[in-house]
Structures are given as structure tokens and as C-alpha cells.
Amino acid sequence: MIIPLLKGLGLTLNRFFSKPITTQYPEEKIPPAKRWRGIQYFEKDERGKTKCVACGLCMVVCPSQCIYIETAEDEEGRRYPLTYELDATRCIFCGFCEEACPVKAIFMGQGYEWVETQRKPLLMTTEKLLEEKKFNP
Amino acid sequence: MQLLYLLIEIVVKCVVVFAGLMIVVAYLTWLERKVLGHIQVRFGPNRCGPFGLLQPFSDAIKAFFKEDLVPGRADKAVFVLAPTMSMIAAISIFAVIPFGDQFTVPGTNWVVKLRVADVDIGLLYVFGVASLGEFGIILGGWSSGNKYGLTGSLRAAAQMISYEVALGIAVVGVLILSQSLRLTEIVRLQGGGIWNWNIWYQPVAFILLLICGLAEINRTPFDMPEAEAELACGFNIEYSSMKFALFFMAEYAHMVTVAAIAVTLFMGGWQPIIPQLSFIPGIIWFCAKLFLFLFFFIWERGTMPRLRYDQIMKFGWKILIPLALINLLVTGFVVSLKG
């Protein structure tokens, strides 16, 4: 009964002198996995605008109902979203919108660090979603 | 005139010992968190200042700003008094511990001995005051008006008085060897190098002091009274802010006290390892040995599991007390044979 206690003490002393395995967060970050479901972004087409055709599939499939779409037709007769609002405070980052999209317009990105002091910037519009592509090569 | 100088000397010594003790207690919390962290292969606090050295200040400021709550059903006077009793008992023991030899104030012929008080019943005083410290825990749990606090404090009381018996009997071995209760005498008789230290003559008493000391200060593996996971924090469950900080500091101060007693009784107090090294002041040796014990206490907190309450009682009464009695008998026998 004494010997196991002494062996335990030896083990902890060994651990005391070993290098800690913590990653010191803001200075060292662990890169997320390739399929990490982070902040969403829109893909751009050759005109620089969103590929989204406002079909509404992502709005219907979203479990938290955080997407709101209003459709419109532009001059060339193409369908596009007049309003596309994704409420990041409701989003649960499940990735269903990416899976549901038929035209590969919306993707889950790599970002996970987003802190704001007000709710308004967290309501992502089309512009914000297009901008978000910058952080996702 | 002499009386005035004496008074000044006593006041300065008290202030220095008290301040030193407070700093040691504050940085002991830092040391504990760092050492436990590294044992668990993680860093301890390392954000507040380099290596987290300003963490105790941050803790103090947090404790100061928390809401100080007195529960409705609590007995208010006793509730406020309990942590102070714990703290006073833990600190008062330092009045008799010798930190070093003596030095002469330069420029005069005034000799300053490095202890606050040199009573000739030093050891008895230590154990008397240590027993008073238990009142703080018992009253704290009882006056909270909370059944979990009460259970915690009753367990603490039973544990402490059981282990005090073994502790007292074990220390009588040292008493037989040094034939004096005066702590300065006990330290003086261990002079002359590491082979004269009591640890070689009373190894069983030393182990018993360590084990029973841990039980006295409610430290793992005997920390059932304040078991953070099981008893929802035990006797100090209703305490917050400064009163909790006082209980917390009293626990660490008590830890330093037990380490200081162990150093004084068994490791030669402020005596150097070999007499050739006596140019290094005694207080440095005392602090180095104290640090060794404190590191050991923290190390075994990170290693050993907590004993269940009935296991604690069984261990104290059925194993440690017989061991202490046997130690006493053998010591007495050997000493009387040597004449």
C-alpha cells in the first residue's frame, strides 16, 4: 500500500517536469479541420455578384429559421435575392444550408472568432456574406 | 530607555513576521496553482503578470469586490467571528518559532534574536493554539444555518481531534530526546550538521507528524471537510468575499505553520546542512527547508485520492495512534537504556 503511493508520487513528479500540452490561445491557435462548419460565406460568380437564385431551400431547411429571403428579378431576367438575411445569433452552424443549396452559393467557412458589442452587425446581409469570402480561400 | 527599545523591537518583529507570513500565504496560493497545473501537464495561471505572479493580487481584488452575504438563518456574531478565530490561531503559532540565530544591530550593541517570543513551553503553546484553530471551522459550519455546512464542520471536528491525539503522542518522542519544550533549545540541540537532525532519530514520529499535520489542516488526502466535489464545499459553503478569503488564507497559513513545526522539530530549524556553510544566514536555511515541505504538501495534493470519512477515522484511531504509542515506548526504552 505504501509502494503504490510512492510510485504515484514518482509519476506526478515526472509529469511536473514535462512540457505542458496547453495551446496558449490568442498567441497559438489550432487550425480548424477542413470540413469545419464556421461562419457562412457566399460564392461569387463571374460578375462578382452572388450565385444565389433565392430558391428558398436554405430558408426552409434551416432548423433555427435564421434565414430570410425576398426574391426579385433583375434586368436580364435572372432571379436574385432582393434581401438575404442570415441571423448569426440564431444560427447553430449545422451546415444544412450548404447541403441544401442547389447552385453552390452558400458555404460554411473556417471562421469562428466573431465578437460584437451590438446585435446589428451579427445580422449577415448579402454584402456581408460576399465579404466573408475574403477569409476563406 | 531599555524598555522603550525593547518595545520597539517587539513591535517591529511582530510586524515583520506578520507581513512576511501574509506574503508567503499569498504566494503559496500562486505556487499551489502553478505546481498543480504542471503536475496536470498544463500551465497554472500565466496571464496576470509574468508567470502569473500578480495572480494573488487579482484574487484579492476579486474577493474584495464580491457580495458579502450573511444568510438569514445564520447566527450573525458567530458567523463573523469564525474565520477570524481560524486566522488568529494559525498566525499566533509563529510567535514562538525560531527563524534564525541572532544578529547585532550595527552601530550599537543591541542583540536581536530572530524569534518573536522565547517561551519555555513553546511546544505546548503550539499544540494548544493549534487546537483553538479548530473552533473556527466548527463554529463556521454551525453558524451558517445550513445542514451541509453543519455536517462538514462536524466531520472536520471529529477528524481534527482524532489526529491531534496521534500528533501529540508522536511529538513526545522529540520531547524525550531534547528534554525541553523550548523550541529554541530543540533547534539548538540539532546543530552541527545534517546528521544531528531529529529526522534520523525519530523517523516514525516524522512520518506521523506529516500525516497528522495534513489531517489537521484539512488537506488532501484528508480534505473531507472541504471536499469541493462531494460535500458542496463543506463548512465554508455560506461564506463569500472577505470572510471566505479569511478562511482560505487561514488554511494556507496553517499549512505554513505545520511545515514550520516540522522544520523546527525534525529538520534542525535554521541550522545549516554542514557547519562550514553557516555563513549563509539561518533564515535562508529555514526558508529553504520550509519551501521543501510546502512543495511536498502541494505535490501530494496532486497525487493522492481523497479518503472517505470512515477510512479517515479508521486510519487515525486504529493505525496511527498505536504506531505513535509504539514509537513512544521504543524511544523511551532506548533512551533509558542509554542512561
A13–B contact, CB cutoff 8 A: yes
Q: Which of B42, B43, B299 lies closest to A13 in CB terms?
A: B299
- Is A9 close to B300, i.e. CB distance below 8 A? yes
pLDDT at residue number B217: 85
Determine the residue of chain A that is closest to B43 in CA distance.
Answer: A20
Q: What are the extents of the domains in chain A?
A: 24-135
Per-residue pLDDT of B245-296, as tens digits, reads: 888 899 899 999 999 999 999 998 888 888 888 788 888 999 999 999 999 9
What mean pLDDT, rounded, does chain B reach?
A: 88
Give the pLDDT score at B28.
94
- pLDDT at site B273: 87
Between helix B241-266 and helix B2-39 the angle, nearest 10°, is: 100
The answer to whether A20 contacts B302, with C-beta atoms less than 8 Å apart, is no
Q: What is the 3-state secondary structure (H, E, C) of chain B?
A: CHHHHHHHHHHHHHHHHHHHHHHHHHHHHHHHHHHHHHHCCCCCCCCCCHHHCCHHHHHHHHHHHCCCCCCCCCCHHHHHHHHHHHHHHHHHHHHCCCCCCEEECCCCCCEEECCCCCCCCHHHHHHHHHHHHHHHHHHHHHHCCCHHHHHHHHHHHHHHHHHHHHHHHHHHHHHHHHCCCCHHHHHHCCCCCHHHCHHHHCHHHHHHHHHHHHHHCCCCCCCHHHCCCCCCCHHHCCCCHHHHHHHHHHHHHHHHHHHHHHHHHHCCCCCCCCHHHCCCCHHHHHHHHHHHHHHHHHHHHCCCCCCCHHHHHHHHHHHHHHHHHHHHHHHHHHHHHHC
Q: Is residue B220 scored above 90 in pLDDT?
A: no
Mean pLDDT for the stretch of residues A103-119: 91
Cell for A125?
446581409
- Percent of chain A having pLDDT more than 90? 59
Those residues with Cβ within 8 angstroms of residue B254's Cβ, 6 or more apart along the chain or in another chain: B86, B89, B90, B130, B133, B216, B217
Q: Please tell me which of the candidates B43, B299, B304 has its beta carbon nearest to residue A22.
A: B43
Short-list B157, B256, B258, CA closest to B206: B258
Q: Mean pLDDT throughout A83-93?
A: 92
CATH 3.40.190.10 fits A24-135, yes or no: no
Calpha distance B173→A132 (Å, rounded): 76
**Range name among B190-194, B197-201, B266-270 with the lowest pLDDT average:** B190-194
Q: How far apart are CA B148 and CA B155, in angstroms?
A: 11
**pLDDT grade, residue B105 (50/70/90)?**
confident
Distance from chain centroid for Cα A45: 21
Kindly determine whether residue B38 and residue A16, on different chains, have CB atoms separated by under 8 Å.
yes
User: CB distance from A12 to chain B under 8 Å?
Assistant: yes
Which residues in chain A touch residue B300, judged by CB atoms under 8 angstroms apart?
Answer: 9
Q: What local confidence, expressed as pLDDT, does residue B286 receive?
A: 92
Q: Does the distance separating the beta carbons of B39 and A20 come in below 8 Å?
A: no
- Find out whether the peptide bond into A26 is cis, omega within 30 degrees of 0: no
pLDDT at B228 over 60: no
State the pLDDT at residue A61.
Answer: 95
Tell me the per-residue pLDDT of B39-54, one tens digit each, with 9 for 90 and over.
Answer: 999 998 998 889 899 9
> How would residue B68 be classed by pLDDT, with cut points 50, 70 and 90?
confident
Q: Which chain B residues are closer than 8 Å to A27 by Cβ?
A: none
With a cut of 60, say whether residue B231 has pLDDT above it: no
Nine cell digits for residue B281? 544566514
CB within 8 Å: B304 and A18: no
Q: How far is CA B192 from CA A4, B197, B251, in A?
A: 36, 9, 34
Instruction: Tell the residue number behind the cell numbers 488526502, with chain if given.
Output: B221
Q: Whole-angstrom Cα distance, residue B179 to residue B174? A: 8
Residue B233's pLDDT band, with cuts at 50, 70 and 90, is: low
Give this complex's ipTM.
Answer: 0.82
Please tell me the predicted confidence (pLDDT) of residue A15.
92
Q: What's the mean pLDDT in A69-87?
A: 90
On the question of pLDDT at B142 being above 60, the answer is yes
Question: Would you list the DSSP string of A53-116?
Answer: ----HHHHH-TT--EEEEEEE-TTS-EEEEEEEEETTT-----HHHHH-SS--EEE-S------
For residue B58, the model assigns a pLDDT of 92
B167 versus B150: the higher-pLDDT residue is B167
Q: In terms of Cα–Cα distance, which of B337, B338, B289, B333 is closest to B173?
A: B333
Contact A124, A45 (CB under 8 A): no
Residues B206, B259: contact at Cβ < 8 Å? no
Name the B residues in 4-43 with CB < 8 Å from any A CB. Answer: 35, 37-43
Nearest to B38 among A5, A20, A24 (CB): A20
Q: Is the pLDDT of residue B55 over 90?
A: yes
Determine the pLDDT at residue B279.
84
Cβ within 8 Å of A, B 289-328: 299-300, 302-304
DSSP of A12-60, one letter per residue? HHHHHTSPP----TTTS-PPPPTT---SEEEPB-TTSSB------HHHH
Share of chain B above pLDDT 90, in %: 40
Cα-Cα-Cα-Cα dihedral of B182, B186, B192, B194, to 10°? -150
Contact in structure between B89 and B130 (CB atoms under 8 Å): yes
> pLDDT over 70 for what percent of chain B?
97
What pLDDT, on the 0 to 100 scale, is given for residue B335? Answer: 92
- Round to whole Å and give the CA distance between B178 and B184: 11
Let me know: does B199 contact B263? Beta carbons within 8 Å.
Answer: no
In the numeric block, the cell 549563509 is attached to B280
Q: Touching check for A10 and chain B: CB below 8 Å?
A: no
d(CA B305, CA B300): 9
Are B216 and B167 in contact by the 8 Å Cβ rule? The answer is yes
Q: Which residues of B touch A21 (CB under 8 A)?
A: 41-42
The CA-atom distances, in angstroms, between B87 and each of A37, A75, B41, B223, B257 are 53, 82, 33, 18, 11
Taking CA atoms, what residue in A is nearest to B41?
A20
Q: Report pLDDT for B74.
A: 81
- Chain A closest-CA separation from residue B294 CA (Å): 14
pLDDT in tens, B9-27: 899 999 999 999 999 999 9
What pLDDT, on the 0 to 100 scale, is given for residue B326?
95
pLDDT tens figures, B155-178: 888 888 899 999 999 999 889 988
pLDDT at A64 over 90: yes
**pLDDT above 80 (res B230):** no
| Cβ within 8 Å, pair B299-A22 | no
- Chain B residues in contact with A20 (beta carbon < 8 A): 37-38, 41-43
